Structure 1
Amino acid sequence: MKFTVLTLFPEMFSAFTSTSIMARAAGQGHIEVECVNFRDYSDSPSKRVDDAPFGGGAGLVMKPQPLFDCLRDQSLAAGERIVYLTPKGKTLTQQMVVDFSKLDRMVLVCGHYEGIDQRVIDTFVTDEVSIGDYVLTGGEIPAMVLMDAISRMIEGVLNTEDSHMEESHYDGLLEYPHYTRPAVYEGMAIPDILLSGHHKNIELWRFEESVKLTGERRPDMLRAYYDRLTDKKKRKIVEKYLK
C-alpha cells in the first residue's frame, strides 16, 4: 500500500513514519509513505495557498490552483481513491478501514483553515472522511489516524495474523479486558478462568466480557452486532446485555 499525502506540513509525518509499527511496516516494504508539499505548486510569488472566502465570512480557504496542479502531477490512475480529511466527511469506521486496506494506493488531502475550495472536491475527491465529531487545526492528524488504522490491516504488518481480529471494533464489539503477570498484584487477582487452561471456556468468557463492555459503553454497536449474529448460543449471551 502506498500513501501519498498532500500536506503543507510534511515534517509532521517524519516521527510518525519512523517509529513503532509504521516504521516496521515501511521497513519491511508493506507500506510506502510519500509526502508532497502542495505549497510548492503555488503559482504565487510568495507561495501563498489560501485566500478569503467569496461571500465574506471568517477564516481563509485553500485556493484551487495549488491542489489542482499538485493532484494532476500525481499520475492518478483511473478509479484512484483520493481522500479528503474533513469534519464534514463520513465518520471513519472499521469497515471503511478494511475496505481501504485492499487498495494499492490512496491519496490523502490534508486541508487547513476553513477547508479547501469546493471545486477541488468536485473534481478530484472520491471520499470525504472524518475521524470524529470535533474540529482539528488541519488534516494531518486525521491522515495519520487513517494511515495507522489501515496499516494494521495489511498482511504482514502485525506480528500475528490474529492480532487485528481480536481488537476493538474489528468484529463489531469492544475488546475484552487483558491481564498479564503477576497473577496477583497489590491484592488484585486476575479472573480464575484465565488460569484454567481451558481454551474454549476462556474464549467464551472473553466473548461475554466483550459483549458486556459493548453493552455498557456502545449499546448501538451491540444492537447492530446482534442484528447480524446467526450463532444461537452467542445470541443468547448478547440478549442479556441488550438495552
Structure 2
Amino acid sequence: MKFTVLTLFPEIFELYLNQTIIQRAVDMGIVTYEIVNIREFSGNKHGQVDDTPFGGGAGMVLKPEPYWNYFKIKNAENPKKPFVIFVTPQGIPANQNIISDIAEKEDVVLISGRYEGLDQRVIDNFVDMEVSIGDFVLSSGDLPVLCLMDSVIRIKDGVIKKESFETDSFYNGLLGFPQYTKPAVIEGVEVPEVLTSGHHKKIDEYRLLESLKKTCKNRPDLLEKKIKEDENFRAVWEKYKKEIEL
C-alpha cells in the first residue's frame, strides 16, 4: 500500500512517520509513503499556492493549479487513478469502518488542507472522499492526515498482532475495556481481583461488562447504534443491562 501526502509543510511528517510502528510497516514492505511539497507544482515563479476567495470574505483559499498540475503528471506516469482523500472539517466523520475500507486500497493520496479551504474544482474533479476527524477546526490538515495514516497502517496485516487491535475501541462498535499492569497494588489501590484469578472466562465476562459500562457512560450513541444494528448483540445487552447503572 502506498500513501502520498500533498502538503505545504512536509517537514511536519518526517519525525512522526519515523516512529516505531509506522517505520516497522515500511521496513517490512507493507506500506510506502511519499510526502509531496505541493508548492513545487504551483506553476509560478513565486511558488504561490493561495489567493483571495471569489465573492469576498476573510482568509485565503488554496489555488487549483498546484493540484491540477500534480494529478496531470501522476496520471501521465500511471493511468490507474489513486484513491484521493481530502481531509477537511466538512468531510464525513472518520470511523473504524472507513479506516478499514481505506486499508484495502493500494494507492491513496491524502490532501492536507490549509487556510479557508481548497478550490472546489479540485474536489469535484479529483477527490473521491472528504473525511473529517471530528467536529472541530485545526490550522491545517497535517495532523488529521497523520491520524488517518496511523490508524490505517496499524491494522494492515503483519504490522501489529491482530488480537492487539481487535480489542481496540470501536473495532467491535464499543469502547475498549479498562487496562491494568504491574504492580498489582499501588499505595493500597489494587487491580480488580478477577484479572489476577487466571480464570479466562470470568476475565472475558468482566472485560465485556466494563466495556459496556464505559460505552454507556461516554458514548451512548455507539451503544444505541450497536443495539439497533446487531441482532446478536441485543441478546448480550439484555443479559448485562441490569448490571449497568443507566
The normalised TM-score by structure 1 is 0.95
| Alpha carbons 2:3, 2:34 under 8 Å: kept | yes
1:80 is displaced (CA, Å) by 2.9
Of residues 69-78 and 139-148 in structure 1, the stretch that sits farther from structure 2 once superposed is 69-78
1:232 shift after superposition? 6.2
Q: Would you say the 8 A contact 2:64–2:121 is kept in 1?
A: yes
**For 1:231 and 1:115, how far apart are their aligned partners in 2?**
41
Indicate conservation of the 8 Å contact 1:229/1:235, yes or no.
no
Alignment of 1:84-163 (within 5 A): 84-158=86-160, 160-163=161-164
Deviations 1:73-120 (A, max 9, x none): 223654531000101000110110011111111100111111110000
Partners of 1:208 and 1:237 within 8 A in 2: no
Contact 1:222-1:242 at 8 Å conserved across structures? no
Which is worse superposed, 71-80 or 108-117? 71-80
Distance in 1 (CA, whole Å) between partners of 2:112 and 2:54 is: 21
Amino acid at match of 2:175: L
State how many pairs are aligned.
Answer: 242
**How many angstroms apart in 2 are the aligned matches of 1:171 and 1:242?**
22
Counterpart code for 1:161:
K
Q: Please give the per-residue CA displacement for 1:213-236, whole angstroms capped at 9, x wherever unaligned.
A: 000000010111122141565122
| Counterpart residue number, 1:164 | 165
Asked if structure 1 preserves the Cα contact closer than 8 Å seen for 2:39 and 2:66, the reply is yes
Change (3 A) 1:177 1:72: same
Distance in 1 of aligned mates of 2:205 and 2:73? 53
Other-structure match for 1:224: 225
Name the amino acid aligned to 1:66.
P
| Paired residue type of 1:39 | R
Stretches of structure 2 lacking an aligned partner (at least 5 in a row): none
Is the 1:226–1:238 Cα contact (8 Å) retained in structure 2? Answer: no
The one-letter code sitting in structure 2 at the alignment partner of 1:220 is D
Task: Report deviation, 1:53.
Answer: 0.5
Q: Is contact 2:227-2:234 (8 Å) kept?
A: no
Task: Name the residue aligned to 1:17.
Answer: 17
Taking a change above 3 Å as real, the CA distance of residues 55 and 231 of structure 1, as seen in their structure-2 partners, is closer
Distance 1:172 1:91, change over 3 A: same
* Separation in 2, partners of 1:200, 1:188: 24
Instruction: Give the CA RMSD over aligned residues.
Output: 1.5
2:72 aligned partner, one-letter code: R
SS in 1 for 2:104: coil
Task: Give the percent of matched residue pairs that are identical in Structure 1 and Structure 2.
Answer: 42
Q: Following the alignment from structure 2 to structure 1, what is the Cα–Cα distance between the partners of residues 237 and 231?
A: 7
Alpha-carbon distance change, 138 to 232 in structure 1, aligned in 2, over 3 angstroms? closer
SS at match of 1:162: helix
Unmatched tracts of structure 1, length 5 or more: none
Aligned amino acid, residue 2 of structure 1: K
Query: Does the CA contact (< 8 Å) of 2:22 and 2:153 recur in 1?
Result: yes
Match of 1:71 in 2: 71
Q: Separation in 1 of the partners of 2:191 and 2:172?
A: 25
Counterparts of 1:33 and 1:84, CA distance in 2 = 17
In structure 2, the residue matched to 1:185 is 186
C-alpha contact (below 8 Å) 1:110/1:138 kept by paired residues: yes
Distance apart, 1:20 and its partner CA: 2.1
